[in-house]
Amino acid sequence: MSASARRPAAVPAGQVWRELGLTTVLLFLVVTVVRWLRVPGSPLYIGDPPLALAVIGPVAGLLITALILSPWGRRSGGHMNPAVTVAVWLMDVFPGVSVLPYVAAQLAGSLLGAASGRLVWGPAVSQVGYGAVRPAAAWPPSAVFLAETGCMLVLVLAVGFLLAYPSFGRWLPHTVGACVALIIVILGPLSGGSANPARQFGPAVLADRQTDLLIYLTAPVAGAVLGASVHHLLYRRFQLREPLTYKLAGTAEGGAVKP
C-alpha cells in the first residue's frame, strides 16, 4: 500500500477547533504555573531558576500527558505543537492538507492562552514575561538553535518508534510528557527548553520578547524535519514495521491512544 493511500484524509473541522482549545488550555496553565512559581511575593515563589525549572518541567510534562489523554486530545490527536504536526505529516500519518489549519490553531491558541493568563492573574503575569523562555546569556544564537533542533529530533524519533510498534502505543502520551519534562529541566537553564513554537509564540509576542523568537519558531520545525528523515532511513535500513493506526492523527474515528 502506498504512503498516499495510508495517509488519512483531511481531519474534520471539529478536530482543528479542539486543537485550538487544547493549546489555549496548555498555554494558560503554563502561564499560571510560571506566575505562581516565579513572581516574587507569590507564596509558591522559587527564587533559584534551575530549581524552579526542575519543578516546572515535571508539572508541564504531566499537563501535556493529561491533555493528550483527555477526550479532546483523543479526538484531535493532542499535538499542541506545530513541530509535532509537521513531523507526523512527514512520517506519512497525517494529511498535508490539515497541517496549516492545525498550525494556525496552535499559534492562535498560544496567543489566547497567554492572554487568558494575563486576564485571570493580572499584571503579575507581565513580571515573568507571560512565561516566555529565554536562553542563558552565555549561549549564542547558534547554540540555542542546535539545542532546540536536537531535542525535537530526539522527541520525533521516540514518537516514530512508538508509532511503528502499536503494542507500545499506549505509552506515547507518557513518553511525550516525560521528554518535555526532561527538555525543560535540562535545557531550560541553557537554551530555554521550549521545543515548541506554540509554547513561545504567544508569550513572546505579548511580552514583546522577540529577539530570539525566530529561533524558537524554526528550530523545532527543523528538528521535526530531521527526525522524520532519520525515521524513514531507519525504517528502510532495519525494516521497522509501519504504524498500523496513527495515534495522534486526529482522524474522524478519534482515539489518540487506546487505554
Inform me whether the pLDDT recorded for 87 exceeds 90: yes
Distances (CA, A) of 64 to 2, 4, 9, 156: 33, 30, 26, 16
**Residue 244 scores a pLDDT above 70:** no
pLDDT at 248: 55
**Residues whose CB falls within 8 Å of the CB of residue 44, separated by 6 or more in sequence, listed in order:** 36, 37
What percentage of the chain carries pLDDT values higher than 70? 88
Closest CA to 242 of 121, 93, 48: 93
pTM: 0.90
Q: Tell whether 259 is covered by a domain.
A: no
Residues 200, 216 contacting (CB under 8 angstroms): yes
Q: Does 254 map to a domain?
A: no
Mean predicted lDDT score pLDDT of the chain: 89
Query: How far apart (Å, rounded) are the C-alpha atoms in residues 102 and 21?
Result: 11
- Quick one: CA torsion of 147, 152, 157, 161, rounded to 10 degrees? 140
With respect to residue 233, please indicate whether it lies within any of the assigned structural domains: yes
Is residue 243 included in any domain, yes or no? Answer: no
CATH number, domain at 217? 1.20.1080.10
Tell me if 252 is assigned to some domain: no
* Number of domains observed in the structure of the chain: 1
Q: Which of 6-10, 65-69, 87-91, 201-205 has the lowest mean pLDDT?
A: 6-10
**Alpha-carbon distance 124 to 33, whole Å?**
12
> Each residue of 22-70: pLDDT tens digit?
999 999 999 999 999 999 999 999 999 999 999 999 999 999 999 999 9
CA distance 18 to 21: 5
Residue with cell 495522534: 248
Domain holding 140, by residue range, is 11-238
If one compares 210 and 6, the residue with the highest pLDDT of the two is 210
**Residue 242 pLDDT level (bands cut at 50, 70, 90):** low
